[in-house]
Structure 1
Amino acid sequence: MTLARFLETPKDVIHIHLTAVRGSAPREAGAQIYVTADGLHGTIGGGQLEYMAIDKARAMLRAGRLAEDMDVPLGPEIGQCCGGRVTITLARMTAANRRDACQAEAQAIALRPHVYILGAGHVGRALARFFQFLPVQCILIDARAEELSLCDAKVETRLSAMAEANIRDAPPNSAFIVLTHDHALDFLLTSEALDRRDAAYVGLIGSATKRARFTRFHTTHSTEQDIDGLTCPIGPTVSRDKRPEVIAAFVVAEVMTRLTGSARLQTIPTCEQNQILHSSPEEGGVGQ
């Protein structure tokens, strides 16, 4: 459910805003929850901290209070071991607050990075199923109407015989995942994406052998010789499982790590540090 849909409720709503973070915490400053007497939208990281904030918000609703603040050390006293400290503001929303929140959400959605899946085969459709739940604008492109029709994810689909035109028209910092049914087309589209020089991610399905073949193609067909920005292979290297859903899960992790900026994320202390594993299947194992 979108925030706009949630805020259509006639019920009173408390806005919970994580305003400051010092040290390690489950979420970064700016995380938010919207709470009614029997519903909520968003998260500030779960756990005891979130439980306490929701409990206070509902106490405010029952008592008719308009605003509260919380200053919470994330230590053993609340059953969390992050070790940081957070400041939270809680406020009952007015009609104007709701309009502003909906407008902010619409602006945030419009600014989401674009992810172009070039190829609507088994792996492409599996990728679309994952990306539909993530904060990106996902576009699945193929020249085969029958393959696009099999996509059951809530993403944009484009029937295009000239996918390279879609690559050229994409906004800066987009991600491109190339996995068509044809190796020659793969090479053409990957080269087009690399030539932009502003892509956040360019990934080509295949093997180390395919990467070597693409390198020879690119050096003879492009004025841009640098392929350092290319991820190929894509997907799992620690597993030989080539089921489309497994490949897609690893590729989505790769793409989201790049889109969210690993360098920026390293500056935000969190309770848990997740190691993302990179790269991909052997060539030719799974229908694309």
Structure 2
Amino acid sequence: MSLPAKTWFDALYQCQQQGKSYVLVTLLATAGSTPRNGGTKMLVCDDSAFDTIGGGHLEFEVIKQARTLLQEKTTAQKVEHYPLSSKLGQCCGGATNVLFETFTQHTQHIAIYGAGHVSKALVPILAQLPLQISWIDNRQGMLDEIAQQAQPNNVKLLASEHPADTVATLPNGSWAMIMTHSHQLDFDLVEAALRREDMTFVGMIGSDTKARRFRTRLSHREFEPQNIQRLVSPVGLLDIPGKRPVEVAVSMAAQLIQLLEPEKTSRSQQKQAWRENTQLIQSLVTTE
């Protein structure tokens, strides 16, 4: 995933907003001739790098080292010494110490199945949260239309003829929000998601009647009652009225925000947290 940032400080802000792990690289003391002065910084992610510490083989080796540190998935600091000699293919003749500061973030992944009106209202809201979003549909034309507008960096569009097959490929601990144009496809997705014990949220849009019918069908397929109860349907907070796509989307987003803050578990705490976000929610609705 690339970020639309050119400077390390812009990239740092975006990484923090999106919950993306990164390494902040800083040139410390330098001796002799070096491409950049001490204090110069760059930021390295697993798939991109921002700003420069002077380019050349030094920067290549530094980026490689930073990505090795990212794979360790631990927040840490490390200093490495680099002589700018023929060993690095640079003839500056100086030397520098490089500080690597690794910041690891846990980013929740969610798969949004369906590219209809509600999901079009929901995804822009979720994209402002520390989430990585896979937006999946079996209608290539729908996704092509969506792709004509620039999407947030934490949103990935995926066309699949058989969306239920993609459930097995989702990262461990993913969430699924199911809202396709087909009840049968919804059921196939629910069934595939519930077969994964690691999926911590499986939600489906629809009425109480639809949810009851799906639970009955699942029981006929020998799903255990406790597994069937993992299905959250209908989705969204009942406190939020309205049936317009943006109103439904805000209700669903509010429910997911609560999951991102699991310490707010009591009903009273959830209501209080929601009241604190009333102004934001109202602004989202009125801009529709």
**Coarse TM-score class (shorter-chain normalised):** 0.5 to 0.7
The DSSP-based 3-state class of the residue aligned with 1:196 is coil
> Which residue in 2 is equivalent to 1:227?
228
- Percent of aligned positions that are identical: 29
Aligned pairs (5 A) from 1:175-186: 175-186=175-186
Distance 1:96 1:122, change over 3 A: farther
Deviation at 1:217, TM superposition (A): 1.3
Query: What is the CA deviation profile of residues 72-95 of structure 1, one whole-angstrom value per residue up to 9, with x for unaligned ones?
Result: xxxxxxxxxxxxxxxxxxxxxxx9
Deviation at 1:118, TM superposition (A): 0.5
The unaligned stretches of length 5 or more in structure 1 are 10-94, 277-288
How many positions carry a matched residue from both structures?
A: 181
TM-score normalised by L of structure 1: 0.55
> Which residue in 2 is equivalent to 1:241?
242
- Please tell me the residue identity of whatever aligns with 2:251: F
> Which residue in 2 is equivalent to 1:198?
198
The DSSP-based 3-state class of the residue aligned with 1:235 is coil
Deviation at 1:222, TM superposition (A): 4.6
> Which residue in 2 is equivalent to 1:150?
145
- Please tell me the residue identity of whatever aligns with 1:121: G
C-alpha contact 1:144 1:159 (8 A) present in aligned 2: yes
Deviation at 1:172, TM superposition (A): 2.1
- Please tell me the residue identity of whatever aligns with 2:177: I
Equivalent of 2:128 in 115, 127, 133: 133
C-alpha contact 1:118 1:141 (8 A) present in aligned 2: yes
The DSSP-based 3-state class of the residue aligned with 1:148 is helix
> Which residue in 1 is equivalent to 2:163?
163
Aligned pairs (5 A) from 1:55-204: 96=98, 99-100=100-101, 103-104=102-103, 107-108=104-105, 111-151=106-146, 152=149, 153-154=151-152, 155-204=155-204
C-alpha contact 1:175 1:255 (8 A) present in aligned 2: no
The unaligned stretches of length 5 or more in structure 2 are 11-96, 276-288
Deviation at 1:229, TM superposition (A): 1.5
- Please tell me the residue identity of whatever aligns with 2:235: I
Q: Which has the higher contact order (CA 8 A, sep 6+)?
A: 1
C-alpha contact 1:201 1:229 (8 A) present in aligned 2: yes
Deviation at 1:163, TM superposition (A): 1.4
How many Å separate the matches in 1 of 2:257 and 2:175? Answer: 9
- Please tell me the residue identity of whatever aligns with 1:120: A
TM-score normalised by L of structure 2: 0.55
Runs of 4+ off more than 3 Å:
1-6, 222-225
The DSSP-based 3-state class of the residue aligned with 2:273 is coil
